Structure 1
Amino acid sequence: MLSLSHFNKHTIKGDIFGALTSTIVALPFALAFGVTSGAGASAGIYCAVITGLFASIFGGTNQQISGPNTGLTVAMVAILTSFIAQFPENGVALAFTVVSLAGVLQILFGFFKLGKYFILVSYPVISGFTSGIGVLIILSQIEPLFGVSLDDVNLAINSLLNPTMFLGTMCLLVLFFWPQKYSKIVPASIIVVIGATVFYILTGVNLPVVGAISSELPDFNMPVWESSLASEMIKSALLLATLSTLDSLMTSLTVDSISNDLHDSDQELVGQGIGNVVAGLFGALPGGGATMRTVTNLRAGGTTPLSGILHAVFILLIVLWAGEYTAYIPVVVLAAILTHVGISIIDWNFLKRLHQVPLFSACLMISTMVMAVVFDLVTAVLIGVFIANLVTIRRLSEIQLDNINLSTAKDADYLSAPEKQMLESIEDSVLILNISGPIGFGVARGLKQSVTRANQNKILLIDFTDALFVGITSTIAIEEIILSYQKQGREILLSSVCQRVRNDFDKLNLFKNIPENHVFNTRLEALTYIKNNS
């Protein structure tokens, strides 16, 4: 978050240079994302200006550069298309209302400190999700890049004489093969934009162009709400908020690894949320942390939020001064830039190693990618996360079950010498169920099965000496064990129940099911009671 300490002579030079460098990188992408979204080039430009400004002022990552990005643009295309089809008059206004609503959700994510949970998504899900976005971007750019639609059966013949195809191919070749050492001086994206524009002016070929961007600032638009689309608007806002959050926090983690700094995830969400609220009000695309532009800023010397603010200011000044010249930029060059981005963000490294990773991880990645392309991004993420979490819970449950021991004197290694001596003297009459570590809901079924398979002719002592946490589901399982034992006329005792576990038990009134003199402070007290009453 910006503070007065960021305005100092030691960092301002680096911030200015970082802002200038990231601006050069960002401009072509802002134009490309705006055109691709269907909202126009200005929507992408002002997204970079607005989200870049407010996320830098109020965010929690010093060097973050925010603006439009791939996943958000893909989602915005679907949202705009859907709302315009249903409400031609207010569709655009509804879509940008969703952008502001997404910003509100992000602010709430930060306020309730949910930032740390968004970066817990498993790698195969993230890999499949981003790869799916890459495929969607490539598919969406085929027509503007080659001048033919996907279903054109004469593609191979027509494209040979198609100037759009020629220019698009040349731009892609430059983007892929521009030497890395020169990219530090002039990015390939700038080269292809300049080159394609010169080609268009000199040859006079008939190509679709971006069109001039008005030198006037965008108008303020009041949010529009449509009750019949309430569920779709909320679902779309949640998608945009999630995408922006993931992009921003992943970029923040990248910054941390490079700068050895630590970002504030929740503050970052608040800053990004404020930026998206304002972006929606002025008809700009939703934005989030942009990894490539952020790393460019960082490596060029940007160290404080001032670099992000200057980045936004520089883009605004360029548009206000030279916005009319975008009328000469061919759309095909922006399609080439996005196609290059789409190809680049596919996780080729993971795909090449699919035969080496566990079958479940490989299937999860592929299925998430396919769902993102065939269905939608929300479905892909929700199902992917749900399946990954189910498997994780099962694995954790297996580990936790290993920490639950039904013990006799022979295998109760965790007992102290006096306790073991006491147990040996009463071994025929008692069985200890030792619970250690946190017990989650995935363990409940296994817990009951373990006791059911044991010899229920003995007194059962449930020992919580090493139990730190027992969830509600496991509390119910323990209650069922107690009731089952009591129904058979057998004794059941509890020992060493800490206060946190007691609180869980009290929520379900578990202690009413067991006599007060059968609850002991220590394991030794419980064993002594059993010996004296056996």
Structure 2
Amino acid sequence: MLRLSHFNRNTIKGDVFGALTSTIVALPFALAFGVTSGAGAIAGIYCAVLTGFFASLFGGTNPQISGPNTGLTVAMAAILSSFIAQAPDQGIAAAFTVVTLAGLFQMLFGVLKLGKYFVLVSYPVISGFTSGIGVLIILSQMEPLFGVSAQQMLAQFSSGEMSAEQLLNSNVLLGGGCLLLLFFWPERLNRIVPASIVALMMATAYFVFSGASVPVVGAIASELPSFNLPVYNAELFSEMIKSALLIATLSTLDSLMTSLTVDSISNDLHDSDQELIGQGVGNMIAGLFGALPGGGATMRTVTNLRAGGTTPLSGILHAFFILAIVLWAGEYTAYIPVAVLSAILLKVGIGIIDWNFLKRIHQIPLFSVGLMLSTLVMSVAIDLVTAVLIGVFLANLVTIRRLSEIQLDNLKLCSGQEDEQLPQDEKQLLQAMSSRVLLLHISGPISFGVARSLKQSVAQVDQDKTLLIDLSDARFVGISSTIAIEEIIVSHLNQGRDVILASVCERVRKDFDKLKLLEKIPKQHIFSSRKQALTYLSEQQA
């Protein structure tokens, strides 16, 4: 759905300035993410162009700037290397087919209106996940800087084979100098000229005038990318689906988290499901043209907002500005040292580690600490999707346990001897039958797990008592609660004991009818009020 209604003459000036400013910030990152992914700088550039354009045109967050980002780059690098190793002839094509599939999955998420559920992931899981990505980015930059991978560096350090030349060559010193500049560039100047642009210009000037022998990005062809049809590989198919779901999930989380940030700054409300459709369209087309997957980029989006961008036009212009730079100045990337891009990504990697959580680790509950650290370790040691799935599973287990404890407040089990909040006449009737009637008062929904525990409690109270289930304060139970109540009723009936139902309102009756629960209880044992049920039981005793 095109959102042309958001474009108006009053906001054009702000959108142009926002687009220009975010382009200056985005360009070094697009180059850096492209090089790091293994697909080349051009893949990062066209990710910024294609996802930036289509996500703005079809998305649900007005000033959102989309493009390559940290988590997606780490995932795409792993996918590319794995697929190329398994299928040298089709590996690259299969990897970009994954990007297209990921876009289709994201569009499906939006159509099914799943957007609101992605932002419900537990904070420790998000913290561990993003911190793990930060560690992976840092490790991935060891080879561009030092010429050996992180594993090789560790082996050489432990064996004492690491030479001074490896640690102090011109490439390392250039990268280290750029990293220091990125960290110590004054914030007041950063608002005028971003530190990443200054580092890029200084490193390029150093290469041009010093004649130093350092690796460079290489020239980017000043032409539009070629269209490539998706490929099917039977051996990689299951891994392609898994990888596409990972890319779709990462892009969704990045985009929706950025959308929430926009909401907090602009006092506006985004459309999560429309945003997923827009991002999905962008990623689907990016995959068809050999570009990296993208998502909402928080820093670039905030830059756009602060510079005046308020409508989707700013994201569209951002894409065109980057495209213009590539088509007219792509040859000059041949002078950009790889070391400066490594420094930019090292800064990103260090920055996205959740230092605030780690600094307060001694103040945080043990389970939350364990969940965060285990997600971090699994992200680095295994893979990102496994880390998130296990983290979410563990977090949900604890959430369910806590909800079960809360739901116990909705249940009261008494035999008449307790001091129950009942009218005096009903209390007297129940006390007179305390030896043979057990009252179960349900005031709200209960989970299946709570019902299991409750069933055991009912069985332990007395084997010969009639069970009176009072629903006078329950106006809604739902199917899960209905199944739980059915468990209790069937268990009681199977032991040869009577079950009485009282105060079943029309809405609750509809839930019960869906599972034909009322058919399991004789009609004479279903009453419209608790008092009628108690009176009936009292008369039966007499």
TM range (shorter): over 0.9
**What is the aligned counterpart of 1:485 among 484, 492, 499?**
492
- CA-CA distance at 1:529 after TM superposition: 2.1
- Range that drifts further, 517-526 or 299-308: 517-526
- Root-mean-square deviation (CA), in Å? 1.8
Residue 515 of structure 1 aligns with an amino acid whose one-letter code is P
Unaligned runs of 5+ in 2: none
Aligned match of 2:305: 298
Counterpart residue number, 1:241: 248
Deviation (angstroms), 1:329:
0.5
User: Alignment partner for residue 275 of structure 1, among 258, 279, 282?
Assistant: 282
- Matched with 1:513 is 520
Equivalence for 1:285: 292
* TM-fit CA distance, 1:375: 0.2
Distance, in Å, in 2 between the alignment partners of 1:489 and 1:197 is 87
1:468–1:500 Cα contact (<8 Å) kept: yes
Q: What is the CA distance between 1:46 and its match in structure 2?
A: 0.5
Q: Match of 1:228, SS?
A: coil
In structure 2, the partner of 1:141 is 141
Separation (CA, whole Å) in 1 of partners of 2:330 and 2:425: 85
Describe the SS at the equivalent of 1:386.
Answer: helix
User: What is the correspondence of 1:308-327 to structure 2 with a 5 Å cutoff?
Assistant: 308-327=315-334
Q: How far apart, in 2, do the equivalents of 1:434 and 1:232 lie? A: 51
C-alpha separation between the residues in 2 aligned to 1:148 and 1:480? 62
Q: Distance in 2 between matches of 1:47 and 1:522?
A: 65
1:526 — aligned with what? Answer: 533
Partner of 2:41: 41
Call closer, same or farther: CA 1:227–1:498 in 2, change over 3 Å: farther
The residue that corresponds to 2:14 in the other structure is 14
Kindly state the Cα deviation for residue 533 of structure 1 after the two structures are TM-superposed: 2.3
Contact 1:440–1:471, Cα closer than 8 Å, also in 2: no
> AA paired with 2:304?
N
Comparing 105-114 with 418-427, greater Cα deviation is found at: 418-427
Q: The residue matched to 2:471 in structure 1 has which SS?
A: strand
How far residue 502 of structure 1 moved from its aligned partner, in angstroms, is 3.6
Which runs of at least 4 in structure 1 moved beyond 6 Å after TM superposition?
A: none
Matched residue SS, 2:445? coil
Partners of 1:135 and 1:409 lie apart in 2 by 61
| SS across alignment from 2:438 | strand
Equivalent residues of 1:52, 1:66 under 8 A apart: yes
Residues of 2 paired with 1:493 and 1:446: CA distance? 20
The answer to whether the aligner puts 1:350 opposite 2:357 as a matched pair is: yes
Match for residue 395 of structure 1? Answer: 402
Rounded Cα–Cα distance in structure 1 between residues aligned with 2:448 and 2:486: 14
Partner Cα separation in structure 2 for residue 226 and residue 416 of structure 1: 72
Larger displacement relative to structure 2 (105-114 or 144-153): 144-153
User: What is the match of residue 199 of structure 1?
Assistant: 206
TM-aligned CA deviation for residue 476 of structure 1:
4.3
Q: TM-score, normalised by structure 1?
A: 0.96
Task: Kindly provide the amino acid, as one letter, of the partner of residue 34 in structure 1.
Answer: G
Cα deviation for residue 233 of structure 1 reads 0.6
Correspondence for 2:63: 63
Give the match for residue 226 of structure 2. Answer: 219
Aligned residues of 2:140 and 2:149 also touching (Cα < 8 A)? no
Q: How high is the TM-score relative to the length of structure 2?
A: 0.94
Q: Which runs of 5+ in 1 are unaligned?
A: none
**Contact 2:79–2:243 (Cα < 8 Å) also in 1:** yes
Partners of 2:534 and 2:308 lie apart in 1 by: 68
- Displacement of 1:30 in angstroms is 0.4
Residue by residue over 1:219-249, the C-alpha shift from the partner in whole angstroms, topping out at 9 and shown as x without a partner, is 0110111122221111000000000000000
Deviations 1:237-282 (A, max 9, x none): 0000000000000000111111111111101100000000000011
Separation (CA, whole Å) in 2 of partners of 1:315 and 1:65: 12
Checking the alignment, whether the CA contact within 8 Å between 1:2 and 1:306 is kept in structure 2 is: no
Distance 2:4 2:484 in 1: 56
Q: Distance in 2 between matches of 1:126 and 1:443?
A: 29
Counterparts in 2 of 1:205 and 1:277: CA distance versus 1, 3 Å: same
Identity of aligned residues (%): 72
Judged with a 3 Å threshold, the aligned counterparts in structure 2 of structure 1 residues 224 and 414 are, in CA distance, closer, same or farther, namely: farther
Q: Distance in 2 between matches of 1:380 and 1:342?
A: 18
- Counterparts of 1:304 and 1:477 in 2: how far apart (Å)? 50
Q: 1:441 touches 1:472 (CA, 8 Å); kept in 2?
A: no
- Amino acid of the structure 2 residue aligned with 1:9: R
Asked if residue 366 in structure 1 is aligned to residue 393 in structure 2, the reply is no
